[in-house]
């Protein structure tokens, strides 16, 4: 089974709306990273939130981390069509590989 | 331009053939990776290579082998491809960080189709 998992599997919103993607992980982590992958491209990091942090912001993006429930969320406000992509969470632990979830496919329509 | 570069973009081949994919990074990183991304977008690490030390994911079949000439290049060779090898192969690099805080930078991927 996956050590990191996003939900929902897919969602669609209208431009301008806000959206939240959730992530659950199963191991002790040093950090949780969020990546975005647009069609035809490799993933690109959006936010890294360390295990001693509870919230991190990057422009219209806001990530939260709850180590007690082993969960994280990524919220996007004022969505744009160019936010259409697959969003991954990836868990980091010391001396271990980065583990990606299966991704949430977000579609932002006009 | 500093980035991760992969060639080719696409490759179509037949079962049993050998293929090689190239990856080069100009970011000055000392760790490189190969990932396999299946049709459901699931990303699985295959190899990581740091300072000539290779770490292999034990689930990777032996027909896959990474090849590195220096820390900026990490190629992937597949001997005798099989239909289940059809996927997108993504190369990535990062600086070395034992706590895994380091961001991984990905190339655009090579899409392999095995007929």
Residue of A nearest to B38 (CA): A102
Question: Looking at per-residue confidence, does B54 or A10 come out higher?
Answer: A10
The DSSP bridge partners found for residue A20 are A75
Domain count, chain B: 1
**Nearest residue, CB atoms, A103 vs list B41, B45, B100:** B41
Interface of B with A in 72-111 (CB under 8 A): 90, 92, 98-101, 103-109
Q: What is the pLDDT of residues A57-78, one digit of tens each?
A: 999 999 999 999 999 999 999 9
Rg from Cα positions in chain A: 13
B73 phi/psi in degrees, rounded to 5: -125, 135
The tokens for A17 are 């709306």
Q: What is the pLDDT of residue A6?
A: 85
* Average pLDDT for A93-110: 86
Q: Return the number of other C-beta atoms located less than 10 Å from residue A62's C-beta.
A: 17
| CA distance linking residue B94 with residue B114, whole number of Å | 30
The answer to whether residue A89 neighbours chain B at the CB level (below 8 Å) is: no
Residue of A nearest to B105 (CA): A44
Residue of A nearest to B43 (CA): A100
**Has residue A1 got a pLDDT over 60?**
no
> Domain ranges in chain A?
4-109
Q: Flag if B100 and A93 touch (Cβ within 8 Å).
A: yes
How many Cα neighbours within 13 Å face the side chain of A77? 7
Average pLDDT, chain A: 92
Q: What is the CATH number of the domain that holds B79?
A: 2.60.40.10
**Ranges of residues in chain B whose predicted pLDDT is under 70:** 98-100
Q: Flag if A44 and B43 touch (Cβ within 8 Å).
A: no
Q: What is the pLDDT of residues A19-49, one digit of tens each?
A: 999 999 988 888 999 999 999 999 999 999 9
A4-109: CATH homologous superfamily? Immunoglobulins (2.60.40.10)
**Has residue A18 got a pLDDT over 90?**
yes
The range of the structural domain enclosing residue B74 comes to 4-98+105-114
């Amino acid at each position: 089974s996956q050590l990191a998992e996003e939900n929902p599997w897919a969602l669609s919103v209208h431009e301008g709306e806000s959206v939240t993607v959730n992530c659950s992980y199963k191991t002790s982590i040093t950090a949780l990273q969020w990546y975005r992958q647009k069609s035809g491209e490799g993933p690109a990091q959006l936010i890294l939130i360390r295990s001693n942090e509870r919230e991190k912001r990057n422009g219209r993006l806001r990530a939260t981390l709850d180590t007690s429930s082993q969960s994280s969320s990524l919220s996007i406000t004022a969505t744009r069509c160019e936010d259409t992509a697959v969003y991954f969470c990836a868990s980091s632990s010391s001396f271990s590989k980065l583990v990606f979830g299966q991704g949430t496919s977000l579609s932002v329509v006009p | 331009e500093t980035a991760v570069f992969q060639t080719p973009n696409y490759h179509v081949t037949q079962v049993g053939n050998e293929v090689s994919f190239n990856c080069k990074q100009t970011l000055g990183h000392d760790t490189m990776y190969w990932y396999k991304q299946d049709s459901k977008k699931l990303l699985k690490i295959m190899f990581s290579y740091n300072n000539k030390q290779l770490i292999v994911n034990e689930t990777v079949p032996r027909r896959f082998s990474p090849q590195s000439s220096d820390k900026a290049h990490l190629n992937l060779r597949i001997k005798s491809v099989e239909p289940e090898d059809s996927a997108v192969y993504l190369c990535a690099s990062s600086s070395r960080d034992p706590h895994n805080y380091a961001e991984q930078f990905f190339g655009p991927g090579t899409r392999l189709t095995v007929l």
